[in-house]
Structure 1
Amino acid sequence: MIDPDTFVRLGLALAIGLLLGLERGWHGRERSEGARIAGFRTFALTGLLGGVCGWLAGLTTPVILALAFFALAGLLAVSYWVRLQEDDDLGLTTEIALLLTFTLGAASVLGELAPTAAVAVVAALLLSMKSTLHRWIKQIARFELDALFRLALISVVILPLLPDQGYGPGAVLNPYQLWWAVVIVAGLSFIGYVSIRIAGARVGIVATGLFGGLASSTSTTLALARFVRAHQSIAPLAATGIIVAGSVTFLRILILVAIFEPALVPPLALPMGVMAATGLAGAALMHRFGDGEQDTQGDIDGVANPLELKTALVFGMILAVVLLAVHYLREWLGTGGVNVAAALSGVTDVDALTISVSRLVSDDLDLVSGSVAIFIAATVNTAVKAGISLVAGNTRLGLRIIAVYAAVILAGGASLWLGL
């Protein structure tokens, strides 16, 4: 008697073929019947073929599955060669999709159902995003692509070779952990940076602030403040973008502590969450009742590519300096020295202090002291961004930022006190 599970698995193989065939059929819907290499029915049959071959391979020998795959690959190769004689500018997307459909059909019978179905959905999504992906690629400059490849090479090849042990005073300088922190922060920043590069000011300053908070809220604040200098009338809208960027920073802090010291998440979740919520509420009110222009046509520059080696190495050096400063100040002044280091670090960078304190908590610093230090750094950094808005922008912009950020700091301080 055939196991009912087999029918479920063969059904999934057919469903995968139908899913990918639906996308390919829609993509070539305007072509004549004979001009399409494969459509809805072909993909459905290919998925079912993979499932049947996987089933037979399980009953007999895996050779059946291998022979069927190579036979399909050979058939597609001949078909491609014939079409290449008529058109020398052909892609291989449909052929690769057919091979993937066959493979996923076999995996439906021989492997786990959930991962197989997930891969099929992702594949269909990638096929449907052709124009979007091509547009994104056009937005990326060559030097940015080169920077991504260089950092990926250094991270993948060099990172495993770095010694995972401490050096220097208190053994606080661990080459492996230092570079790992650089990779994490640069990767997180690059998500925001690419979003800004792809979207630009065309989607609005508020969206730029959202992505800029991931890239660098300080750089975004400076860039938007300078933009206000040239476009005075957009000060209310720019203030909204700056506050959004600053609010995202608090969520970014939670992401970093979750990566480097998850024990810090509970005591920091309330103050950082309240500060982010207060800032976003202030930004929403400012956006709702602001009197500035709602559309901008200029480009907002000023956020450096975080995957440039220079940018990454500078952050690495800042992190090393902060680690040493925290070590010495704590040695001289006790726990209060960590707070002093937090205040000093917050003037320029909150990420380095967050990572440094997370490492101390992993060793011997208590959670309360660690949470207070990170809150101090975030508060000082927020005040600095308010000052940047006033100095680099204008009074109209700066006063709006100061009012909201004052509420953010007070709300965060009260929630930290209640939580501790």
Structure 2
Amino acid sequence: MDNVELFERLGLAIAIGAAVGVERHWRERDEPEGGRTAGIRTFTLFGMAGGVAGLLERSFGVASSYSGITLTGFLIAIALVMAIFEMREAIAEKTYSVTSVVAAILTFGLGALAALGDMALASAGGAALVTILASREFLHQAIRRLTWVELRSAVILLAMTFVLRPILPDTPVGPFGGVSPKSIVMLAIMLASISFAGYVAVRMFGSTRGDVLAGAIGGLVSSTGTTVAFARRSASGEDGTTLSAGAISASAVSLLRTALLVATLAQTLLPVLLWPLVAGAAVLALYALILARSHQSTGGEVAPGNPFELAAVAKMALLLTCVAFLARAATQQFGGAGLIFASALSALADVDAATVTVASLLPSLQPGVAAQAVGVAALTNMAAKAVYGSVFGCARFSWHLWGATALSAAAALGAWALGSVV
């Protein structure tokens, strides 16, 4: 390692300490000189101490059988000194907080990481540390507003994601490619996450803006899952107008995502499909925007209900899994001759699968047939979401969804016909 890199690593360690010190000093900026345990200078020195300890460890630890002694000694000394002074401050002010002690230890550790390990990881860790420290008021307020239902839903979602999913087998079971138990749980997690994200967005931004924002975000993951989740919420008594605006915005994002997939995986189809997809997405986005702007609240916001019900989420996941299974079976039975029909069946669950499949077969397909398959899949997916909205949602939700779907389909078909004539 040359001298330039050594200076860079030590400079990063000092910068991490200074960044943490700015936040710590700002929080106690009204204290008189000598009235705070540690400020910008002290935390800068903590970061520098970590960097120096790391460089010493790098110099002596390689040739010694007692590697780690230097770092351990520095860390114990800093932790003891910081703990003593923090305890004296806590006794004087009658407070109970160990945040500054932990921040000092982490600052030293990140400084050592900058000297010994990955500099990018040390930079990211420093940024994360400052962000957490600066978010005290926001986090405390969020915890005060947190209800038991929200906490329980978050715990269930985390357990499904990090406990249940890893232990399930990934090997498909059954004919026609089978069904993977892990894929069913992943679909349930996706649906639950969309519902929870929508709940959080409504709590933060209100029902009108929250539902539209949550729908647009959900459309990046699965517009079909978002539509089903919003339909269930409308049937439970929540505002069908704002929820339909969210579902429509999810469909708009889905069409734009399909255009991006085509541009990435099947560039030869882009001249044919770009304008129909963009036209359909524009109509949907405009419809959702008009709904959101014209909606007038009547007597205050309705408090959202349970972030998600596990039984209902599991049923929806099983339903969509069955639809996807039937689509794969039809694809294998009909083969290339039934590509358009198979794409339509696949789109009952998700349009991405049909798009990716057509793109993979493109070298052996005529561009016209491939474009028709993707177009039919997009239209079928829009119609399927409208049907799901009618089955699982309230009448107002269904009416708006069908209206937006019809207008969007007309715009897309018009753009397709205009492109064919030109």
Q: Calculate the TM-score normalised by the size of structure 2.
A: 0.73
Match of 1:392 among 384, 392, 395: 395
Question: Are 1:274 and 1:412, in contact at CA under 8 Å, matched by a contact in 2?
Answer: yes
State the secondary structure of the residue aligned to 1:18: helix
1:405 maps to 2:411? no
Unaligned runs of 5+ in 2: 62-67
State the secondary structure of the residue aligned to 2:294: coil
State the secondary structure of the residue aligned to 2:176: helix
Match of 1:150 among 147, 150, 156: 156
Question: Are 1:139 and 1:197, in contact at CA under 8 Å, matched by a contact in 2?
Answer: no
Counterparts of 2:315 and 2:165, CA distance in 1: 17
Provide closer, same or farther for how the CA distance between residues 183 and 292 of structure 1 changes in structure 2, counting only shifts above 3 A.
closer
| CA deviation after TM superposition for structure 1 residue 47, in Å | 0.9
2:307 corresponds to: 305
Question: Are 2:216 and 2:249, in contact at CA under 8 Å, matched by a contact in 1?
Answer: yes
2:227 corresponds to: 217
Larger mean CA deviation between 9-18 and 335-344 belongs to 335-344
Aligned residues: 404
1:143-292 alignment runs, 5 A limit: 143-187=149-193, 190-201=196-207, 203=209, 206-207=212-213, 209-211=215-217, 213=219, 216-220=226-230, 243-250=248-255, 275=277, 278-280=280-282, 283-284=285-286, 287=289, 292=294
Unaligned runs of 5+ in 1: 230-234
Question: Are 1:305 and 1:311, in contact at CA under 8 Å, matched by a contact in 2?
Answer: no
Match of 2:381 among 361, 378, 391: 378
- RMSD of aligned residue pairs (Cα, Å): 4.8
Match of 2:83 among 77, 81, 84: 77
| CA deviation after TM superposition for structure 1 residue 29, in Å | 1.6
Counterparts of 1:290 and 1:316, CA distance in 2: 29
Provide closer, same or farther for how the CA distance between residues 326 and 284 of structure 1 changes in structure 2, counting only shifts above 3 A.
closer
Counterparts of 1:240 and 1:165, CA distance in 2: 38
- Give percent identity, aligned residues only: 27
2:32 corresponds to: 32
Counterparts of 2:400 and 2:164, CA distance in 1: 45
| CA deviation after TM superposition for structure 1 residue 332, in Å | 5.5
| CA deviation after TM superposition for structure 1 residue 71, in Å | 1.4
1:326 corresponds to: 327
| CA deviation after TM superposition for structure 1 residue 6, in Å | 1.5
| CA deviation after TM superposition for structure 1 residue 21, in Å | 1.0
Match of 1:134 among 140, 154, 168: 140
| CA deviation after TM superposition for structure 1 residue 283, in Å | 3.8
Counterparts of 2:214 and 2:100, CA distance in 1: 37
Counterparts of 1:293 and 1:183, CA distance in 2: 31
Amino acid paired to 1:318? L
Counterparts of 2:214 and 2:2, CA distance in 1: 58
Counterparts of 1:194 and 1:350, CA distance in 2: 25
1:107 corresponds to: 113
Provide closer, same or farther for how the CA distance between residues 290 and 132 of structure 1 changes in structure 2, counting only shifts above 3 A.
closer
Question: Are 1:241 and 1:283, in contact at CA under 8 Å, matched by a contact in 2?
Answer: no
| CA deviation after TM superposition for structure 1 residue 302, in Å | 6.9
| CA deviation after TM superposition for structure 1 residue 331, in Å | 5.5
Question: Are 1:206 and 1:238, in contact at CA under 8 Å, matched by a contact in 2?
Answer: yes
Question: Are 1:13 and 1:108, in contact at CA under 8 Å, matched by a contact in 2?
Answer: yes
Q: Calculate the TM-score normalised by the size of structure 1.
A: 0.73
Provide closer, same or farther for how the CA distance between residues 414 and 151 of structure 1 changes in structure 2, counting only shifts above 3 A.
farther
Provide closer, same or farther for how the CA distance between residues 373 and 194 of structure 1 changes in structure 2, counting only shifts above 3 A.
farther
1:9 corresponds to: 9
Larger mean CA deviation between 151-160 and 121-130 belongs to 151-160
Counterparts of 1:300 and 1:417, CA distance in 2: 48
Counterparts of 1:379 and 1:91, CA distance in 2: 54
State the secondary structure of the residue aligned to 2:130: helix
| CA deviation after TM superposition for structure 1 residue 172, in Å | 1.1
Counterparts of 2:349 and 2:420, CA distance in 1: 21
1:232 corresponds to: none
Question: Are 2:172 and 2:178, in contact at CA under 8 Å, matched by a contact in 1?
Answer: yes
Question: Are 2:165 and 2:185, in contact at CA under 8 Å, matched by a contact in 1?
Answer: yes
2:124 corresponds to: 118
Larger mean CA deviation between 7-16 and 158-167 belongs to 158-167
Amino acid paired to 1:15? A
State the secondary structure of the residue aligned to 1:33: coil
State the secondary structure of the residue aligned to 1:164: coil
1:98 maps to 2:104? yes
Question: Are 2:203 and 2:210, in contact at CA under 8 Å, matched by a contact in 1?
Answer: no
Counterparts of 2:339 and 2:302, CA distance in 1: 36
| CA deviation after TM superposition for structure 1 residue 44, in Å | 1.0
Counterparts of 1:65 and 1:71, CA distance in 2: 10
Query: 1:373-412 CA deviation, whole Å, 9 max, x = no partner?
Result: 6424422135448979x97239996797366434554368
Provide closer, same or farther for how the CA distance between residues 386 and 228 of structure 1 changes in structure 2, counting only shifts above 3 A.
same
